[in-house]
Amino acid sequence: MSETVEKSGFKIETSALRAYTMLGALILIWLFFHWQTGGTFLSSGNLSNLMLQTSVTGILAVGMLMLIIAGQIDLSVGSVLALAGGVAAISLTNWGYGLIPSILLAIAVGVFIGLIHGILTAYGKIPAFIVTLGGLLAWRGAIKGVSRSETVAVADQTFKTFGQGNLTIASGWFLAGLAILAILFLAYRRAKSQKDYGLGEADYKGEMVKTILPIIGIVAFAYAMNSSNGIPLPVLIFVIVAIFGVFITNSTTFGRYLYAIGGNTDAARLSGINTRLNILKVYMLLGVLTGIAAIVFTARQGSATPDAGGLKELEAIAACVIGGASLMGGRGTVFGACLGALIMASLDNGMSLLNIRDFVQEIIKGSILVSAVGLDMIGRKN
Amino acid sequence: MSQSKNPILEMRSIVKEFPGVKALDGVTFDLFAGEFHSLVGENGAGKSTLMKTLSGVYPFGTYGGDIVIDDEIRQFKTIRDSEKAGVAIIFQELSLVKELTVGENIFLGKEPSKFGVINWSELYQKASKLLKDLHLPIDPRTPVGNLGIGQQQLVEIAKALSQDAKILVLDEPTAALTESEVETLFEILRELKARGVGMIYISHKLDEVFEMSDRITVLRDGKTVGTNDAKDLTKDKVISLMVGREVGDIFPQTSHEFGETALEVRHISTFDPDNPNKKLVNNVSFSVKKGEVLGISGLMGAGRSELLMSIFGAWQGKTEGEVLVGGQPVSIKSPSEAIKYGIGFVTEDRKRFGLLLEQTIVDNMSLAGLKKISGAFITHRSRETVAAREKMQSLRVKANSPLTVAGTLSGGNQQKVVLGKWLLINPKVLFLDEPTRGIDVGAKQEIYSEINKLAKEGLAIVMVSSELPEVLGLSDRVLVLHEGKLTGEFTKSEATPEKVMAAATATN
């Protein structure tokens, strides 16, 4: 293991290094597809599409990551997504509830299921794998029952906006500007607190240099999205969820407890942490995010189908693992999980553009997942 | 024993070094067929290390000296090699698979089979014969998990005999047994002795040692102090051989001034979660004043850690008793409640119970007091870093930065990080469980002077330690536990190694 260096956003240098490696891998994948597709892949239209494809898995991956950090797992999010989305659609179309109640209902379904999973694993001591494997079957059954195995179309235009709408060009640039200001402000505050707490001189210059790359990223992102139809609303929701996830894992006591519980449950317990309550909370938090993902997904499809979201749980887990999370717990970053989701979506998108046949796509994705973790293991040993 | 016969086992000048420590320094030991030879010594004297060289856990080449069995120098690379030479070891922790049956366990890895297909009737027939020979009324088809600890121990012995063991090593076999189970075990051992099996018996219980032994060897600090016929020894003599060591002057001579009582516990009893009838701590009461260092001595398995765990609300089995903090009765059901009342606990085995090895010093040090140090909901890294850096300086933690990963530190520095974590909750009472185990002398000394400093500042300290000099050198008062019971209490001036060891082995 290497020495650590103060780095914003990342816990330790090794994880920062991993993030850069992954960023490099992503760029290579993008360049490869761009070259192979004769310039289609990195066109603004396709990038917009790619980000859209990432958003649902990305939202789920943020919640999954927090669970995985605490040493848990949830195999049922795909089924819960179908149930929450289905309930929202039925509520809107069949029961005639308004937009807000229907959205809250979807989130409530996610939270309630999280509560059940959390109680059974943390207090009932049934392994998370079993509880959520049961959930995978049971919640899928529940949506088939509620919807009588029929597709429920959504007519509400406002609801559909959450999946199909775009920000106007102007508001896109406005948000991008806001994000840049926030980054600059955070860098300034970091440098200042360094001095305020007597940890050394305020290194304003150094902190500002570190903001260059993120700012370029934001500008490029806003430019690409705005050259198409503007920033898609699902992408905005994903970005907000990701920022929320970074905040929880890096800047709250709850987030720190998750790392401690996953890293060494005994030590966490003996340090006065209520390990079971925190595990319950993280299941419920994943429930909230699954509810949000369900709304975006259903709105984008324009209808709820009982078999929606199949395999989404595995995509979310794969995104976390590609992003450097350890299924043993205690290790992983939200940033990594989001990159992982983007890598998975890029493979999907690029291979589809190249008309690679379905079965080959699946084999390639599976192989990449295993080799990403394999390479990580080798890197860790050295 | 006839002197004309050659010993079946000779261990000649065994030397085993670990980084920084000489665990065995020229130990010589021998064993005759049909002999019961006990190996005694303080915790850490080198008994288990010696047995690990014999069994191939430490393979040939990693130790110095010769192991001779049946007049032939042996070079065991694995445990399997030593088993083939007739050595069987029954470790303190049972090595049975609870889900498998008695018969499956006895023949684990050596199942009678043809082309990989197990011959079950032969297996159970053989197992049943072995059990009958030992007069054990156990059905070989019973899952081991359904047996009591005592019977499991006997299954271990049956397993050893299935390999035709000529040398049977028993490491604290009676630690988890009730008295009647111990009697059964001893009857079986006597019969094995009559059959010519040589036995090496490691135990802290001197009564048992004297009841069974032909000869007794005492180890101290990795050296053989002496091997004598049991009939030429007394318990007092053995104890003085075990402890015969000067308390060095690495302990700063200071007198502490006591304030009022900080913590009092009454009638604490703690039950074994695996064996609910067995009390690991039996009706223990004590109190500790502000500024006092209370040492708790006792041998392995005396219930010292269990006592502290129970008071701290961290014991996962049943406990009974009252706890008073600052004179007020309190109910502590979880570590977070103990922390709320100002109790800190530097647990034993820092890697298992103390540290987040993959995380930084700051992450570790701020963990127990995170909400106070950093913020109730939103954390403030800089505040934590400042607090951690301050403790790193006062405890002299040697690391490049507060962001160094805890797992990369040396043992002494890791221990200081754990200590720092608990000092950051500003405790009124501090429990220390084996605070200097496995760390080098320099770091030990630094921790000793820190303990003294903390006591001077008015902290009440309860320290469990297996190192007698440490307990005697630091404590204002020493309590001694034996099999869960309080068997002695000595003031600093009364406490001598002999008296403490006599209480620890329940010898009058």
The whole-angstrom distance between B371's CA and the closest CA on chain A is 7
What pLDDT sits at residue A2? Answer: 36
Burial (CB < 10 A; 0-12, 13-18, 19+), residue B135, is: exposed
Residue B163 has pLDDT above 90, yes or no: no
CA B447, B448, B449, B451 dihedral sign is: positive
The verdict on a CB contact (< 8 Å) between B359 and A199 is no
The pLDDT value given to residue B256: 76
* pLDDT digits 0-9 by tens, A58-111: 999 999 999 999 999 999 999 999 999 999 999 999 998 999 999 999 999 999
Q: What are phi and psi of B412, to 5 degrees?
A: -60, -45
Is A11 a residue whose pLDDT tops 50? no
- Would you say residue B252 has pLDDT above 70? no
Residue B400 has pLDDT above 90, yes or no: no
Q: What confidence tens digit (pLDDT) does each residue in A115-164 have? A: 999 999 999 999 999 999 999 999 999 999 999 999 999 989 999 999 99
- Residues in A closer than 8 angstroms to B312, CB to CB, are 270
pLDDT value for B249: 52
A270:B345 CB<8 A: yes
Most confident range (mean pLDDT) of A283-292, B11-20, B215-224, B472-481 is A283-292
Chain A contact for B400 (CB, 8 A cutoff): yes
pLDDT at position B1: 44
Q: Which of A4, A269, A274 sits opposite B314 (nearest CB)?
A: A269
- Give residue B172's pLDDT: 82
> How many beta-carbon pairs below 8 A join chains A and B?
104
Residue A337 in 3-state DSSP? helix
Check pLDDT > 50 for residue B3: no
Q: What percent of chain A has pLDDT over 90?
A: 77
For the ranges A253-267, B175-189, B488-502, which has the lowest average pLDDT?
B175-189
Question: Minimal Cα–Cα distance from B389 to chain A, Å?
Answer: 9
B339 touches chain A (CB under 8 A): yes
Which residue of chain A is at minimal alpha-carbon distance from B308? A270
pLDDT at B110: 82
Q: Average the pLDDT over A173-194 and give the result.
A: 90
Q: Does any CB of chain B come closer than 8 Å to the CB of residue A149?
A: no
Query: In the predicted model, what is the mean pLDDT of chain A?
Result: 90
Residue B343: what pLDDT?
Answer: 96
Q: Using the beta-carbon criterion (under 8 Å), do A253 and B377 form an inter-chain contact? A: yes
SS3 B484: coil
B161 confidence band (pLDDT: 50, 70, 90):
confident
Minimum-distance CB partner of B360 among A12, A274, A331: A12
> Residues B213-232: pLDDT tens digits?
999 999 988 889 999 999 99
pLDDT at A35: 94
Share of chain B above pLDDT 90, in %: 50
Beta carbons within 10 angstroms of residue A376's beta carbon? 17
Residue B378 pLDDT > 50:
yes
pLDDT digits (tens, 9 = 90+) for B37-88: 999 987 778 888 899 999 888 999 899 999 999 888 999 998 888 988 999 9
- On whether the pTM is more than 0.95, the answer is no
CA distance A340 to B291: 55
**pLDDT in the model for residue B497:** 86
Using a CB–CB cutoff of 8 Å, tell me whether B374 touches chain A.
Answer: yes
Q: Model confidence over A271-306: pLDDT tens digits? A: 999 999 999 999 999 999 999 999 999 999 999 999
Q: What's the pLDDT score for residue A10?
A: 36
Q: Residues 294 to 353 of A: which have CB under 8 A from any B CB?
A: 330-331
The predicted complex's ipTM stands at 0.84
Residue A9 confidence (pLDDT) above 80: no
Q: Is B217 on the interface with A (CB under 8 A)?
A: no
Identify the residue among B308, B359, B374, B430 best suited for mutation to test binding to A, counting A beta carbons within 10 A and taking the highest.
B359
Q: At what angle do helices A169-196 and A204-227 cross, to 10 degrees?
A: 170
pLDDT value for B6: 85
pLDDT tops 80 at residue A380: no
B479 close to B297: Cβ distance less than 8 angstroms: yes
Of B345, B356, B403, the CB nearest to A260: B356
Quick one: average pLDDT of B169-179?
79
Q: Is B405 on the interface with A (CB under 8 A)?
A: yes
How large is the average pLDDT for residues B268-295?
A: 91
The most confident of A185-194, A210-219, B286-295, B372-381, by mean pLDDT: B286-295
In angstroms, the CA A261 to CA A253 distance is: 12
Q: Looking at the complex, does the CB of residue A252 fall below 8 Å from at least one CB of chain B?
A: yes
Residues 6+ positions from B58 with CB-CB distance below 8 Å? B16, B49, B52
Closest-approach residue (CA) in chain A for B338? A272
Q: Which residue has the higher pLDDT, B8 or B255?
A: B8
- At residue B253, the pLDDT reads 62
Is the model more confident about A377 or about B212? B212
Distance CA B81, CA B60 (A): 11
- pLDDT value at position A109? 97
What is the C-alpha to C-alpha distance for residues B283 and B349, in angstroms, rounded to an integer?
Answer: 26
Alpha-carbon span A334 to B73, nearest angstrom: 59
Residue B428 scores a pLDDT above 90: yes
- pLDDT score at A26: 92
Question: What distance in Å separates the CA atoms of residue A119 and residue B322, rounded to the nearest whole number?
Answer: 31
Q: Is A270 on the interface with B (CB under 8 A)?
A: yes
pLDDT for the residue B245: 54
pLDDT at B4 over 60: no
pLDDT digits (tens, 9 = 90+) for B97-146: 888 999 999 998 888 888 888 889 999 999 999 888 877 888 999 998 88
B368–A271 CB contact, under 8 Å: yes
* pLDDT computed for residue A4 by the predictor: 38
B349 pLDDT band (50/70/90 cuts)?
confident
